[in-house]
C-alpha cells in the first residue's frame, strides 16, 4: 500500500473506531504530506463515517457510537479547515449555497460532510445548522443572493418541511436552485416536490455544480 493509501486508511479507521485523537493526528499527518483536503475528506474521513452510518442503519451500533464517530470527524475537520479556506481563496468561488437541516430535525452528520466538501470544492457555504424553519432558509438566501438552497431531512416526519420549503421558494420569486437529501429522502420524493436530489455527500457536490451551470 502507498503512503497516501495508508494515511487514508488511518483516517477511515479513526472514524470507525470513534477515536478523536487518532483522527486529529491523521489529519495533521495528511496535511504535512501535502494532500488535497477534499481527497482527505472523501477517501478517508467520509468513507469511515459512511460505514459507521451503515452499521447504525443495520442496528449493529447505537446512536451514541454514531455521534462519537461524527465528533471524531468534526475534530479532524477543524485541522483541515485552514487549508481548505486557503485553497478556496486561491480559486474562483463557484457559487453560494445555503444549507440546513429542516425544522423538527436535529441530525447534521450528512449535512456537515456536504458543507465541508462544498467549501473544499470552492463554494461559499452558509450553514444554518439544524432545526431550521422555512423562513430562515428564504431570508438567508435573499440576504446572500444564494445560487442554491440545500435542505436535509433524516426523518420521514420532517420530509414534509422540504415540500413546504419548495413551495416557499416558488412564492418568494427567488432565482435559486433547490436540492434535498437525507436518509428519508428518495429521488421520487425530490421529483414530486420539484427539487434536485443527492444520494450522498460526494454526489451532492456534483449535483450542485450542475445546478449552477443551469442558472
Domains of the chain (ranges plus CATH)? 3-89 (1.10.1240.10), 96-214 (3.40.50.280)
More confident residue, 112 or 177: 177
The model's pTM is: 0.70
Q: Is 86 exposed, middle or buried (0-12, 13-18, 19+ CB in 10 A)?
A: exposed
Model confidence at 113: pLDDT above 90: no
Top-confidence residue, 99 or 118: 99
Residue 127's pLDDT is 95
Q: Exposure of 12 by Cβ count < 10 A (0-12 exposed, 13-18 middle, 19+ buried)?
A: buried
pLDDT single digits (tens) 50-78: 788 778 878 899 878 888 988 898 899 89
DSSP the chain: --HHHHHHHHHHHHHHTT-HHHHHHHHHHHHHTT--HHHHIIIIIHHHHHHHHHHHHTTSS-HHHHHHHHHHHHHHHHHHHHHHHHHHHTS----EEEEEEBTT----HHHHHHHHHHHHHT-EEEE--SSB-HHHHHHHHHHHT-SEEEEE--STTTHHHHHHHHHHHHHHT---EEEEESTT--HHHHHHHT-EE-SSHHHHHHHHHHHHHH-
Residue matched to cell numbers 440545500: 150
Highest mean pLDDT of the ranges 36-45, 96-105, 114-123: 96-105
State the Cα–Cα distance between residues 95 and 185, nearest whole angstrom.
24
**Burial class (CB within 10 angstroms; exposed 0-12, middle 13-18, buried 19+) of 153:** buried
Query: Mean pLDDT across the stretch 84-111?
Result: 85
Which of 10-19, 79-88, 177-186 is least confident? 79-88
pLDDT band for 119, please (50, 70, 90 cuts).
Answer: confident
Mean pLDDT of the chain: 91
pLDDT(207) > 70? yes
Instruction: Indicate whether 102 pLDDT > 80.
Output: yes
Average pLDDT over residues 126-145: 97
d(CA 50, CA 56): 10
Q: Tell me, what's the pLDDT at 18?
A: 96
Q: Give pLDDT tens digits for 19-47.
A: 999 999 999 999 999 999 888 988 999 88
- Residue 35 has what pLDDT? 94
Amino acid at each position: 500500500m502507498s503512503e497516501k493509501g495508508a494515511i487514508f486508511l488511518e483516517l477511515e479507521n479513526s472514524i470507525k473506531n470513534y477515536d478523536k485523537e487518532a483522527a486529529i493526528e491523521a489529519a495533521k499527518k495528511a496535511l504535512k504530506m501535502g494532500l488535497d483536503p477534499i481527497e482527505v475528506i472523501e477517501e478517508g474521513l467520509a468513507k469511515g463515517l459512511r460505514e459507521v452510518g451503515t452499521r447504525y442503519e443495520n442496528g449493529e451500533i447505537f446512536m451514541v457510537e454514531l455521534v462519537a464517530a461524527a465528533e471524531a470527524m468534526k475534530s479532524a475537520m477543524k485541522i483541515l479547515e485552514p487549508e481548505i479556506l486557503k485553497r478556496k481563496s486561491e480559486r474562483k468561488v463557484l457559487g453560494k449555497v445555503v444549507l440546513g437541516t429542516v425544522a423538527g430535525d436535529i441530525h447534521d452528520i450528512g449535512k456537515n460532510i456536504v458543507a465541508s466538501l462544498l467549501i473544499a470544492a470552492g463554494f461559499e457555504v452558509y450553514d444554518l445548522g439544524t432545526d431550521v424553519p422555512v423562513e430562515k432558509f428564504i431570508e438567508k438566501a435573499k440576504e446572500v443572493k444564494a445560487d442554491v438552497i440545500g435542505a436535509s431531512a433524516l426523518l420521514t416526519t420532517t420530509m414534509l418541511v422540504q415540500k413546504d420549503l419548495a413551495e416557499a421558494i416558488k412564492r418568494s420569486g427567488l432565482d435559486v436552485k433547490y436540492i434535498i437529501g437525507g436518509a428519508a429522502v428518495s429521488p421520487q420524493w425530490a421529483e414530486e416536490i420539484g427539487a434536485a436530489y443527492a444520494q450522498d455527500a460526494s454526489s451532492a457536490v456534483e449535483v450542485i455544480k450542475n445546478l449552477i451551470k443551469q442558472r
